[in-house]
Amino acid sequence: MADVFDMIVAGDIPAYKVYEDDDVLAFLDLSQVTPGHTLVVPKTHVADIFEYDEDLAARVLSKLPKIARAIKASDENIIGLNILSNNGEAAGQSVFHSHFHLIPRFANDGFDIPMPDHSEQTAEDTYKTLAANIASHMED
C-alpha cells in the first residue's frame, strides 16, 4: 500500500517542491515547525534508516548538504538548521517512508529539542561496554 510520500513522489498528491533529482524529492512540510521546514525523501520506498543499503544511503544522504545550504541561503535570518529523522514508531515516526526533516532555526523561534543529559549517571565502564557492543555489530 502506498503511503503519502509515495503518492507525492508519484505526483498523485501536490507538494511544494524545492528540489528533485532521480533519487530524492525535497518539499516543504505542511506543518512548518519554522519557516522553510523541508522534508527530504528517497524516491525509492524504504521504511526507515534500517532499510537503506550503502548505495541508496550515498545517493540520498549526499543531497542533504546541498538542500540545507539552499534553505539557509533563502533567508538571511536563518542562524542554524536541525536535521532530524525519526526511525520506528517508538522514535516518533508517523509516516513509514524514510524522511529527513530540515528545520531552519531563527533567533527566538520557540522550537526546542530537549535532550536529557545522563552523563553524570553513566559510569566509564558503561560507556566502554556500550561502545564495544555497538562496534561489534558493525557490518563491513
Compute the radius of gyration of the chain from its Cα atoms. 17
Whether 118 sits among the annotated catalytic residues: the reply is no
Catalytic one among 37, 45, 97, 99? 99
- DSSP per position, the chain: ---HHHHHHHTSS---EEEE-SSEEEEE-TT-SSTT-EEEEESS--SSGGG--HHHHHHHHTTHHHHHHHHHHT-TT--EEEEE---SGGGT--SSS--EEEEEE-TT----------GGG--HHHHHHHHHHHHTT---
Catalytic amino acids?
A: 99
